[in-house]
Amino acid sequence: MSQISKIGVIGAGNMGSGIAQKIAQEGIQVVMVDMTDEFVERGMDTITKILSRNVDKGKMSEDDKHAVLERIKPSSGLNDMAAADFVVEAAIEKEDIKFQIFRDLDEICEANAILATNTSSIPIGRIAARTTRPEKVIGMHFMNPVPVMKLVEVIRGIATSEETFKVTWDLAEKFGKTPAKAED
């Protein structure tokens, strides 16, 4: 698999904004999408406040804060996921919503893009079945608060390929996380 250079995050709530922030802090371009501009703005406000606190505490410079924010593209259009090599879905824990997101991502994203879900309760195989690429669907369950907590569960669905698992595991490590293999 080619180098992952652009990541999409679906959801701008606590989990989604935390995931987007952490990815951007690691120097990677990220598109953060939610249903409305209001939700996306709220997510960006949350990220900005957290980064500002880090500046106040001397944990990062003002320039670093601005660099992180510039790596996050806020959007209310799912079509902006088209350029993503890897997408992490962190929408509300409702099957019908997640299933529709994955059906849409399957059509929007390039065939080689990996589609990950942050779900903690819906089987990965059930989500993967909504796509034409079940081998490229995986669970990537972050712990809250994402920028602080180290653990990320990497959850293989029944059809998830070894390559998809390896790319996801390596990404978790690149994000400064401690990946742990979990069963679906």
CA-to-CA distance for 103 and 67, rounded, in angstroms?
33
- Token pair of 119 as six digits: 């779900």
- Token pair of 105 as six digits: 């991502």
Contacts of 20 (CB under 8 A, 6+ apart): 9, 12, 30, 32, 43, 47, 72
CA 142 to chain centre: 9
Tell me, yes or no, if 141 is annotated catalytic: yes
* Per-residue 3-state assignment (H helix, E strand, C coil) for 54-105: HHHCCCCCHHHHHHHHHCEEEECCHHHHHHCCEEEECCCCCHHHHHHHHHHH
Catalytic residue (one of 141, 157, 164, 177) = 141
Residues labelled as active-site residues: 141
